[in-house]
Structure 1
Amino acid sequence: MKYAVIAAGEGSRLVGEGVKDPKPLVKINGEAMIDRLIRIFIENKAESINIIINSEMQEVRRHLDSLQLPVPLHVEVKSTPSSMHSFFELREWLRGGRFCLTTVDTMFREDEFSSYISRFEESAGIGGLMAVTDFIDDEKPLYVETDKDLNIKGFRDNVYDNARYISGGVYGLTEPAIDILERAMRDNVSRMRNYQRRLVSEGMQLKAYPFTKIIDVDHAGDIEKAARFVK
Structure 2
Amino acid sequence: MNYAIIAAGQGSRLSNEGEPRPKPLVELAGEPMIVRLVGILDSMGAGRISVITNPAMPEVPATLRALTPRAELTVMEKSTGGSMESFHALAAEIDGSQPFCLMTVDTVFRPEEFAQFIADFEADPDTDGYMAVTTYIADEKPLYVAATAEGDITGFLDCPVPGVRFVSGGIYLLRPSALDILEDCARAGVSRMRDFQRALIASGMRLKAWQFTKIIDVDHPSDLAEAERFISG
Shorter-chain TM-score tier: over 0.9
Q: Look up the equivalent residue of 1:143 and give its one-letter code.
A: Y
Give 1:77 shift: 0.5
Q: Look up the equivalent residue of 1:230 and give its one-letter code.
A: I
Matches within 5 A, 1:1-231: 1-94=1-94, 95-231=96-232
Counterpart of 2:75 in 1: which secondary structure? strand
Is this contact kept in 2: 1:4–1:51, CA < 8 A? yes
Counterpart CA distance in 2 for 1:21 and 1:133 is 28
Give 1:92 shift: 2.2
Q: Which consecutive aligned stretches of 4+ in structure 1 deviate over 3 angstroms post-superposition? A: none
Counterpart CA distance in 1 for 2:72 and 2:181 is 26
Counterpart of 2:76 in 1: which secondary structure? strand
Identity %: 49
Q: Render the CA deviation track for 1:101-129: whole Å, top value 9, x for unaligned.
A: 10000001111111101111111121110
Structure 2 spans left out of the alignment, 5+ residues:
none
TM-score of the two chains, using structure 2 as the length reference: 0.97
Give 1:214 shift: 0.5
Give 1:71 shift: 1.3
Counterpart CA distance in 1 for 2:168 and 2:209 is 9
Give 1:34 shift: 0.4
Counterpart CA distance in 2 for 1:64 and 1:213 is 27
Is this contact kept in 1: 2:129–2:207, CA < 8 A? yes
TM-score of the two chains, using structure 1 as the length reference: 0.98
Matched positions, count: 231
Is this contact kept in 1: 2:130–2:172, CA < 8 A? yes
Counterpart of 2:168 in 1: which secondary structure? strand
Structure 1 spans left out of the alignment, 5+ residues:
none
Counterpart of 1:15 in 2: which secondary structure? helix
Q: Look up the equivalent residue of 1:205 and give its one-letter code.
A: R
Counterpart of 2:4 in 1: which secondary structure? strand
Is this contact kept in 1: 2:10–2:23, CA < 8 A? yes
CA RMSD, Structure 1 to Structure 2 (Å): 0.8
Is this contact kept in 1: 2:131–2:168, CA < 8 A? yes
Q: Look up the equivalent residue of 1:120 and give its one-letter code.
A: F
